[in-house]
């Protein structure tokens, strides 16, 4: 029996990440090589021409899996029947800014989109927020979609995870495929904590091969500040790597992580002392189409302090958006 087409909505489809994503989605890299796709591209009026142009090019790609492309500036229409929502549309930061500087401007985008998802999404909807500050924007979106289970709203820390894997592999001069068991904890911000204490390289504990000073002075700051490094070098924020990580996140969510784990920002259930409801990055496995937090990992003082600091920032962001009226009291 042919697989049913899935409705995939991309917000900010006329922007940089949108352009890097759309063709890869159409080629089957989001959901799988046998899953037909119906694309909805949501933009604000100023972005519609760019999205329309991308739609023309998608048409020219003659992608066998792509059944339709619709461009709209109406969130209700964009999310009607949506199975996968990629919430990319929002302002990127520039040089000298932190992602939290975008809180107020971008936060206002996500309440209305949450309401539109609540009103019309398919029962199995899965949402990935990419737009920064991603964790708190996911929190805002979920807060406006009370009828959709909170576990369906996630934020992207897969780019941080991929960066950490790549940095570690380069340091140890091994292929990225040799690394397993890495975790990004907390916020997609400079406070995030890339944790190697449970990581292995070809089955050997990484912690036997690297020292704490390398972790504290080189690895952690390099990964946590990679977004700023990219902005400094290319003059604009990450695009290709962000699109790639978006595909990785959703592909694994839908198709499973197998024996290993990855990192994603998901609604906390209180695990590891992270206050319930915060959208925080955890070690996660995807089982049966749902993210499950990897439980029972030991956490020493080095890790605990860093996880707590990043979670404290998430609590502050939640208070800030509450004070702005972007989530209910």
Ligand X SMILES: O=C([O-])CC(=O)C(=O)O
Going by the annotation, the residues of the binding site are 12-18, 93, 99, 106, 113, 130-132, 163
Residue 265 contacts ligand NAI per CB under 6 A: no
Could you tell me the smallest distance in angstroms from the CB atom of residue 207 to ligand X?
A: 25
**Could you tell me which of 27, 120, 141 has the C-alpha nearest to residue 77?**
120
CA-nearest of 319, 296, 328, 329 to 100 is 319
Residues near 212 by Cβ (< 8 Å), separated by ≥ 6? 302
Q: Taking contact as CB under 6 A, which single stretch among the options 28-36, 86-94, 162-170, 189-197 is the one that binds ligand NAI?
A: 86-94
Among 1, 2, 46, 288, binds ligand NAI (CB under 6 A): 46
Least Cβ distance, residue 182 to ligand X (angstroms): 16
Binding site residues, ligand X, CB under 6 A: 92-93, 99, 132, 159, 227, 230, 237-238
Alpha-carbon span 106 to 138, nearest angstrom? 11
Cβ 237 vs Cβ 231: under 8 Å:
yes
> Which residue's entry shows tokens 């992207």?
156
Coil, helix or strand for 64?
coil
Cβ pair 278, 318 in contact under 8 A? yes
Interaction mask 124-143, ligand NAI, x per CB under 6 A? ------xxx-x---------
Q: Taking the mean position of all CA atoms in its chain, how far away is CA 162? A: 12
Residue positions forming the annotated binding site for substrate: 93, 99, 132, 163
Residue 144 annotated to the active site: no
Place of tokens 């939290």: 100
- Reported as type and span, the H/E element at residue 175 is none
156 belongs to the binding site for ligand NAI (CB under 6 A): yes
- The structure tokens 């995870």 sit at 161
Among the listed ranges 82-90, 161-169, 306-314, 319-327, the one in contact with ligand NAI (CB under 6 A) is 82-90
| Binding-residue pattern over the window 8 to 27 for ligand NAI, x denoting contact by CB under 6 A | ---xx-xxxxx---------
Site residues (CB under 6 A) for ligand NAI? 11-12, 14-18, 42-44, 46-47, 88-93, 109, 130-132, 134, 156, 159, 188, 237-239, 242
Which sequence positions are flagged as catalytic?
188
């Amino acid at each position: 029996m042919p697989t049913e087409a899935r409705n995939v909505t991309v917000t900010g489809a006329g922007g940089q990440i949108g352009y890097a994503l759309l063709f890869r989605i159409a080629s089957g890299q989001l959901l799988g090589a046998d899953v037909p796709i119906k694309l909805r591209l949501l933009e604000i009026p100023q972005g519609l021409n760019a999205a329309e142009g991308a739609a023309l090019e998608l048409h020219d790609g003659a992608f066998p899996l792509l059944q339709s492309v619709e461009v709209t500036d109406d969130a209700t229409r964009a999310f009607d029947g949506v199975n996968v929502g990629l919430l990319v549309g929002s302002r990127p930061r520039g040089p000298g800014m932190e992602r939290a500087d975008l809180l107020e401007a971008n936060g206002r985008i996500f309440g209305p989109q949450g309401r539109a998802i609540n009103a019309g999404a398919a029962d199995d909807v899965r949402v990935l927020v990419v737009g920064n500050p991603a964790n708190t924007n996911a929190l805002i979106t979920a807060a406006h979609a009370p009828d959709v289970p909170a576990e369906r709203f996630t934020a992207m820390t897969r780019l941080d995870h991929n960066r950490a894997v790549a940095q570690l592999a380069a340091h140890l001069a091994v292929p990225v495929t040799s690394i397993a068991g890495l975790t990004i904890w907390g916020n997609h911000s400079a406070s995030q904590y890339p944790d190697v204490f449970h990581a292995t390289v070809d089955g050997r504990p990484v912690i036997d091969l690297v020292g704490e000073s390398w972790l504290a002075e080189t690895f952690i700051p390099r990964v946590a500040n990679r977004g700023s490094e990219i902005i400094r070098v290319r003059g604009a924020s990450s695009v290709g790597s962000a699109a790639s990580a978006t595909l990785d996140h959703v592909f694994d969510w839908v198709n499973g992580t197998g024996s290993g784990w990855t990192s994603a920002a998901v609604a906390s259930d209180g695990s590891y002392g992270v206050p319930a409801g915060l959208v925080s990055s955890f070690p996660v496995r995807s089982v049966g189409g749902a993210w499950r937090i990897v439980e029972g990992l030991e956490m020493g003082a080095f890790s605990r302090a860093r996880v707590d600091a990043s979670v404290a920032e998430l609590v502050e962001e939640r208070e800030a958006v509450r004070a702005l009226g972007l989530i209910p009291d």
